[in-house]
Structure 1
Amino acid sequence: MSTDLGVADVLARCGAEGRAALIGYLPVGFPDVEGSIRAMVAMVECGVDIVEVGLPYSDPLMDGPVIQNAVEVALQGGAHVVDGFRATRAVRDAGAPALVMSYWNLILRRGVDRYAAELAAAGGAGLITPDLIPDEADEWIAASEREGLDRVFLVAPSSTPERLSRVTDSCRGFVYAASTMGVTGERTSVGSAARDLVDRTKALTDLPVCVGLGVSNGDQAAELAQYADGVIVGTAFVRTLSGEGELGARLDALRELTTELARGVREGAR
């Protein structure tokens, strides 16, 4: 991994600019592999600072219906773990770090050491593991240390002080704070638990704390950006790419949304 495209460096740069980072998620393979890569690059070109490259999984229990539907399309189209490496390279070449987001079983199937080496070789910044807790992550922690990869674990409003401490001690890059309980999806308002969770987490770590699960427009991004180090957007991007019309028109809509969200994280400057 190139240090000038590291997650920590990008978050530090955004902080120096007095703003939160915009972190965008899309699943590789939706609407097809090439289309997903074009979409990720378009997001970078329009203001996404860090891209989450989602690996499609057959049982995405933590995702809402919009992402589940997109993942099903990707799987039916034959999207594979190796396509995640292609997307990672494309994002890096576009000028942003790429964090792969994957359910842990996919990594186990590939082999933890093998996957870590392949991700590093593809220029990946690291891995977000929503269903892996640090207590069960010894193999991944060792592999990520060896390959110089970031590892991002999740905290939630229900996390105890002990759990928060364990997670923050195990993360590298940033801590992923789930601002609303339950599966992912767009919210009509930003959950009131988000600020409290960020405050509780920041009391335990110097790592950036980035908030996800619910942001769908620039106003919400601006609200979160007042106290979060990064604003994570997934469902809104996927829904936009799921719209009507040719891919080119949907990519244009994706660019418009990205521009709005990028403006939002700047308007919420602290």
Structure 2
Amino acid sequence: MSTAPELDGRLALVTGAGRGIGAAVTAALAARGARVLATDLTPGELPEAARPYAERITTRALDVTDAAAVDALVAETEETVGPLDIAVNVAGVLRGAPVTELSDEDWAATFAVNTDGVLHVSRAAARRMAARGRGSIVTVASNAAGIPRAGMAAYAASKAAAVMFTKCLGLEVAAHGVRCNTVSPGSTLTDMQRAMWTASGQDEESAARHIIEGDLAAHRTGIPLGRIADPSDIAEAVVFLVSDRARHITLHDLYVDGGATLRA
């Protein structure tokens, strides 16, 4: 991981920061010099990758489905710590089931986090960023937002909604100097991915090989690059988009999936 201080002094809010991609994003931002407010529903100890930068990271509990709690935390942060420069939406849930077996509860719970949560955090951040004339918002979505996945209708639909919401927000605040982009990972070695493998009864090695090679019967294309992403691969894409290197990029959806969707 590069540790060039390109984000030195900037303040970032990250949701879903307790593990997986969110933890990797937190570590990557802090490694570049950013101060990070790392939030999660139940934050625990800092992940190992983030510990070298502990002095730059503050952990807080946050339920992104609670709009009032999000507004209160953002307001408190701006009053006591400083203006937010960066907001990264990572918090997400996956409740897989065929549509004919999908419960209303699972549908609602998926959208509450993956879509409503993105609205709550992005809206609170954008209001303040636009008033200052600067800022960057990144939503971590999924390549499932752009290509059908059997048994993942709620997840895919919620992520597709989050992508389009972020683009529409980006259009509205572009004139105020705020950039809004999305990063859409494919299969990534996180607890969420492992839980899917456990549910299918496969061991990790066999399941990973199945995903990489693809399965025509399941309408899967596999991963042309021949590997499953590490959370740090996604974090590096986020860091690029919030940095000045991407100063002329907004409304963009960056796929980080090893070519899995063939960008369909």
TM-score (norm 2): 0.36
TM-score (norm 1): 0.35
Q: Could you say which structure has the greater relative contact order, defined with CA pairs below 8 angstroms and 6 or more residues apart?
A: 1
